[in-house]
């Protein structure tokens, strides 16, 4: 066994090159076994085993800097940099992070989680290196999916112009999470597959050189012929035209070829792009056969490839997808727009039923948002189906193109709240804060999956501008689903429990937590009302005014950033109108990043539990101050 000998990249370099292939097999087996227990991004990592080995074999991490785009495919890098024994804790609370993590290792130089930042980071590190007069290598590993992100093009444009020495490894496996989309993807397919493109560049260029140099008008024609010939025949000409030296496409599982290519690239001045072709899920048949499913997988049985997760109630995402089909059957204005997340957003069935009305734009949230604005202005009812965290990318387009135009866009905001194993880069806890202050925006969150359906109907019927509904990455409560959907009056909250001593204004899943807290309080003789604060904007101003005039003390509970969330909105409401209120306390996500773990663990860390809510209510009602909870930010 070679793998146990590898505790640092230095150990790898002691191996003769011909031992890298057997080591690759051991790493594959390691990944398949460990992730069968922990789950994780299996397919992407199986695809980069040889590539990561070759990089660590050819370069000197951490002096040479490896920047993994998204970073979900850095497990092999972690295996080679002293973290093998931590894989049993992969993506677990306080365990090994599923993405690159600087706190874990000096070899982790750039963190991500969101796509398409690697080229900008590489350029920044190359610029700093040159300004400091250092000579380390900077290597970005970017997938064909991440290359569809707008930021990547911004960086390509800058890098190609500045001609800094850096290496871009394009890991092309034809997959984003789902099959990759877009003109760049089509171009790469041609480069990969067209026999003309596979001709060696030098004999193409020698062919071009044979065209005799002739004077006059013919010369210009000859030049044009040369250019179009080069355009047609030279692989990667697009990157060459952008100022990169293009090398490839090469087999990303061929270790000798990878070593030779990286060594060759070292002798080239300026930016180099090595195009490697890999198989996502390589070496594990179920993952190779369906790398969409195996992109991010829950624990599974190795032999059968069957996942172990219990069925449980349908996820909110599933209810969203099915309800959207129901609505789309009645209203042909509905068009679903997804930035590369058709599966995760529950739109696969919708796409099968309405292929022309499901638009996957690639990893392009900004483009998706503006596209929706324009479609809405043309009378369509676009549904911007986006994860809360990835929607952060489109903040300006939401302000500038959707809300300012008051465009009738429906926002289907998935993964709202804590997301669990993906951790801090993916928590959907900021969208209340960054949406509710934008004029014309309406924002809702249901207390259960049945109310989600009614909110979708509300959003469809609403034609006064942008309206969004946000829902969590959890199973529904298992409540009955009303067959007939009714619009909810905009800005109306719902009292789900009466109580005389105080009121808990709860958002989404926090309604259940608040009801549990109210139950706990009964034994202390405290009766708490629970309000389903299902509109984050507009607020239920009448209810807020009545509560204040009734001298009712309030606790706001939201699995969203305390700063700028519903609690802030309530305080703003009272303060801006000079309304005297008894007391408002806010229980939300504190001012810190909540790392990976289970959603329950993340709620506990944030204090979003029935017990803590009950403690706060006791304090509010009795006036006895609680000692500040140890460890929680003030």
Ligand X SMILES: CC(=O)[C@@H](O)[C@H](O)COP(=O)(O)O
Q: Tell me which residues touch ligand X (CB under 6 A).
A: 70, 72, 177, 295-296, 344, 415, 419, 422, 473
Residue 280: active-site member: yes
Residue 40 engages ligand TPP in binding (rule: CB under 6 A):
no
By CB under 6 A, is residue 72 in contact with ligand TPP? yes
- Kindly determine how many residues on this chain lie close enough to bind Mg ion according to the rule CB under 5 A: 5
Q: To the nearest whole angstrom, how small is the minimum distance from the Cβ of residue 44 to ligand X?
A: 8
Binding mask 122-161 for Mg ion (x = CB under 5 A): ---------------------xxx----------------
As measured in angstroms, the least distance from the Cβ of 70 to ligand X is 5
CB of 282 to Mg ion, least distance (A): 12
Determine the distance from the C-alpha atom of residue 407 to the mean position of all C-alpha atoms in its chain, rounded to a whole number.
25
Pairing between β-strand 502-506 and β-strand 467-470 as defined by DSSP bridges:
unpaired
Q: Nearer Cβ to ligand TPP, position 143 or 508?
A: 143
Q: Is 173 labelled as part of a ligand binding site?
A: yes
Q: Give strand ranges (E) for 186-318.
A: 245-251, 272-277
The verdict on whether residue 365 carries a ligand-binding annotation is yes
Task: Kindly list the distances between the CA atom of residue 138 and the CA atoms of 111, 125, 135, in Å, as whole numbers in the listed order.
Answer: 15, 7, 9
Does 393 qualify as catalytic in the annotation?
yes
The residue among 415 and 497 lying less far from ligand X, judged by its C-beta, is: 415
Q: Decide: 476 and 319 in contact? Cβ < 8 Å.
A: yes
Which residue, judged by CB position, is nearest to Mg ion in the bound state? 143
Please tell me which residue in 393, 415, 457, 553 is annotated as part of the active site: 393
Beta-bridged to residue 442, according to DSSP, are 467
Q: Which is nearer to Mg ion, 172 or 431 (CB)?
A: 172
CB of 392 to ligand X, least distance (A): 13
Select from 122, 190, 177, 117 the least CA-distant residue to 147.
Answer: 117
Cα–Cα distance between 72 and 280 in angstroms, integer?
Answer: 13
Q: How many CB atoms lie within 10 A of CB 383?
A: 28
Peptide bond just before 252 cis, omega within 30 deg:
no
CB of 295 to ligand X, least distance (A): 6
User: Does 390 help bind ligand TPP (rule: CB under 6 A)?
Assistant: yes
Rounded CA-CA distance 363/365 in Å is 6
If one asks whether residue 388 binds ligand TPP (CB under 6 A), the answer comes out as no
Range in contact with ligand TPP (rule: CB under 6 A) among 94-102, 127-135, 141-149, 510-518: 141-149
Minimum distance of ligand X from residue 182's CB (angstroms): 18
173 near Mg ion, rule: CB under 5 A: yes
Task: Determine which helix (DSSP H) or strand (DSSP E) holds 368, and give its type and residue range.
Answer: helix 365-377
Yes or no: say if 78 and 104 are a contact pair by the CB < 8 Å rule.
Answer: yes
Report if residue 446 touches ligand TPP, rule: CB under 6 A. Answer: no
Site for ligand TPP in 466-485 (CB under 6 A): none
| Dihedral in degrees, nearest 10, Cα atoms 193, 194, 199, 201 | -90
Per-residue binder mask for ligand TPP (CB under 6 A), 349-378, x = binder: --------------x---------------
Query: Contacts with ligand TPP: how many residues (CB under 6 A)?
Result: 24
Q: Does 145 bind ligand TPP (CB under 6 A)?
A: yes
Q: 476-513 in b/e burial notation, b at 16+ Cβ within 10 A?
A: beeeebeeebeebeebebbebbebebbbbbbbbbbbbb
175 binds Mg ion (CB under 5 A): yes
Q: Enumerate residues 14-53 that contact Mg ion by CB under 5 A.
A: none
Instruction: Choose the contact partner of 247 out of ligand TPP, Mg ion, ligand X, none; CB within 5 to 8 A by kind.
Output: none
Residue 307 phi/psi, 5° resolution? -75, 150
**Contact region for ligand TPP (CB under 6 A) — 98-106, 122-130, 172-180, 307-315?**
172-180
Q: How far is CA 238 from CA 175, 230, 235, 242, 521, in A?
A: 20, 11, 8, 6, 66
Cβ contact 100:425 at 8 Å? no
* Continuous segment of H or E residues that includes residue 631: none
Neighbouring CB atoms inside 10 A of 464's CB total 10
Catalytic site positions: 280, 365, 393
Q: Which residues are annotated as a binding site?
A: 72, 113-115, 144-146, 173, 284, 365
Per the annotation, binding residues for thiamine diphosphate are 72, 113-115, 145-146, 173, 284, 365
């Amino acid at each position: 066994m070679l793998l146990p000998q590898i505790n640092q990249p230095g150990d790898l370099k002691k191996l003769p090159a011909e031992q890298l292939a057997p080591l690759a097999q051991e790493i594959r087996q390691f990944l398949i076994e460990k992730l069968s227990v922990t789950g994780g991004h299996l397919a992407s990592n199986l695809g980069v085993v040889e590539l990561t080995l070759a990089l660590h074999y050819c370069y000197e991490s951490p002096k040479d800097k490896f920047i993994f785009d998204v970073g979900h495919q850095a497990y092999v890098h972690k295996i080679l940099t002293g973290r093998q024994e931590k894989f049993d804790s992969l993506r677990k609370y306080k365990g090994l992070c599923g993405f690159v993590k600087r706190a874990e290792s000096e070899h982790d130089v750039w963190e991500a989680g969101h796509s398409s930042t690697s080229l900008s980071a590489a350029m920044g590190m190359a610029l700093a290196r040159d300004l400091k007069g250092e000579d380390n290598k900077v290597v970005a590993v970017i997938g064909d999916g991440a290359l569809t992100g707008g930021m990547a093009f911004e960086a390509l444009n800058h890098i190609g112009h500045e001609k800094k020495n850096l290496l871009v490894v394009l890991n092309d496996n034809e997959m984003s999470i789902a099959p990759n989309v877009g003109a760049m993807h089509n171009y790469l397919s041609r480069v990969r597959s067209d026999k003309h493109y596979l001709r060696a560049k030098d004999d193409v260029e020698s062919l071009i050189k044979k065209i005799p140099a002739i004077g006059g008008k013919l010369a210009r024609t000859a030049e044009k012929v040369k250019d179009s010939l080069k355009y047609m025949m030279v692989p990667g000409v697009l990157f060459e035209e952008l100022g990169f030296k293009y090398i490839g496409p090469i087999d990303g599982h061929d270790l000798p070829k990878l070593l030779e290519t990286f060594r060759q690239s070292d002798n080239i001045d300026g930016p180099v792009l090595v195009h490697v072709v890999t198989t996502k899920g390589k070496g594990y048949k179920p993952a190779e056969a369906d790398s969409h499913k195996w992109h991010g997988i829950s624990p599974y049985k190795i032999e059968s490839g069957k996942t172990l997760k219990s069925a449980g109630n349908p996820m909110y995402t599933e209810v969203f997808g099915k309800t959207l089909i129901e609505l789309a059957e009645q209203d042909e204005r509905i068009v679903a727009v997804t930035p590369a997340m058709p599966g995760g957003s529950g739109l696969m069935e919708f796409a099968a039923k309405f292929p022309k009305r499901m638009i996957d734009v690639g990893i392009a949230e900004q483009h998706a948002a503006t596209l929706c604005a324009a479609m809405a202005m043309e009378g369509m009812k676009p549904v911007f189906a986006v994860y809360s965290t990835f929607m952060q990318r489109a903040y300006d387009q939401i302000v500038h193109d959707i809300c300012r135009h008051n465009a009738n866009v429906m926002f289907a905001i998935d993964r709202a709240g804590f997301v669990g194993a993906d951790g801090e880069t993916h928590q959907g806890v900021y969208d209340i804060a960054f949406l509710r202050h934008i004029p014309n925006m309406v924002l809702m969150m249901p207390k259960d999956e049945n109310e989600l359906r009614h909110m979708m109907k509300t959003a469809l019927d609403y034609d006064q501008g942008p309206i969004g509904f946000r829902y969590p990455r959890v199973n529904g409560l298992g409540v009955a689903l009303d067959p007939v959907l009714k619009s909810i009056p905009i800005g109306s909250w719902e009292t789900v429990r009466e109580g005389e001593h105080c009121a808990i204004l709860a958002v989404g899943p926090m309604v259940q937590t608040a009801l549990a807290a109210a139950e706990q309080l009964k034994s202390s003789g405290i009766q708490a009302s629970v309000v389903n604060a299902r509109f984050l904007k507009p607020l239920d101003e009448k209810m807020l005014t009545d509560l204040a005039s009734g001298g009712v003390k309030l606790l706001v509970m939201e699995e969203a950033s305390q700063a700028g969330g519903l609690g802030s909105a309530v305080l703003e409401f009272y303060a801006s109108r000079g309304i005297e209120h008894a007391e408002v306390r806010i229980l939300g996500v504190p001012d810190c990043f909540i790392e990976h773990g289970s959603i329950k663990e993340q709620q506990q860390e944030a204090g979003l539990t029935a017990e803590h809510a009950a403690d706060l209510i006791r304090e509010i009602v009795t006036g006895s101050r609680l000692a500040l909870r140890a460890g929680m930010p003030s």
